[in-house]
Homo-oligomer: A and B are copies of this chain.
Amino acid sequence: MTDRLSRVFAALADPTRRDMVARLTERDATVGELAEPYAVSIQAVSKHLKVLEEAGLVTRSRDAQRRPVHLEAEVFDLMSRWIERYRRQAEERFQRLDAVLADLQDAHEDDTAAREGTAS
C-alpha cells in the first residue's frame, strides 16, 4: 500500500482525519487547535497529521514552538481524476446497456406484434 492514491484514500478513510481536512479548508491551524474538538490525546492527533502529511494532503511549517498545518488542495485533483474517470466509463457502459435493453424491448414488441397479427 505504498502508492500515492492508496495513501490518500486510506488517509481519508478515517472520520477524524476527514474532519480535520474539512476544518483546514477554512484556515491553517496548529496541532493543538486541531486537537481541541476531539476526545483523544494530542499525540494521537499528531499521528493523524503524520498520515495526512505522508499522503500529501497537508504540509507543516514552523513558527516558534508551533507547527502550523496547511491543506494542500491539489491532492483533491488526484482523487477526482480517478473517480471521474471510472464514473464516466461506468456511465458510458450503462448507456450501452440501456441501448441493448431498448433493443431487446423493441424485439419483444415486434414479436408480440407479430403474434398478435399487428403491423410492426
**Which positions in A face B, CB cutoff 8 Å?**
1, 3, 5-7, 9-10, 12-15, 18, 21-22, 25-27, 71, 73, 76-77, 79-80, 82-84, 86-87, 89-91, 93-94
Contacts and interface: CB of A to CB of B under 8 A. Distances in A.
A93 B22 contact: no
Give the dominant DSSP class at A's interface: helix
A94 B80 contact: no
B79 A94 contact: no
The number of times this chain is found in the oligomer is: 2
A79 B90 contact: no
Given A27-B93, A83-B80, A12 B14 contact: no
Closest 10 CB pairs of A and B: A10-B13, A9-B13, A73-B90, A25-B89, A76-B87, A25-B90, A9-B12, A25-B86, A9-B9, A6-B13
A14 B25 contact: no
29 contacts: A1-B14, A1-B15, A3-B15, A5-B15, A5-B18, A6-B13, A6-B18, A9-B12, A10-B10, A10-B13, A13-B13, A21-B86, A22-B86, A25-B86, A25-B89, A25-B90, A25-B93, A26-B89, A26-B93, A71-B90, A73-B87, A73-B91, A73-B94, A76-B83, A76-B87, A79-B79, A79-B83, A80-B80, A80-B87
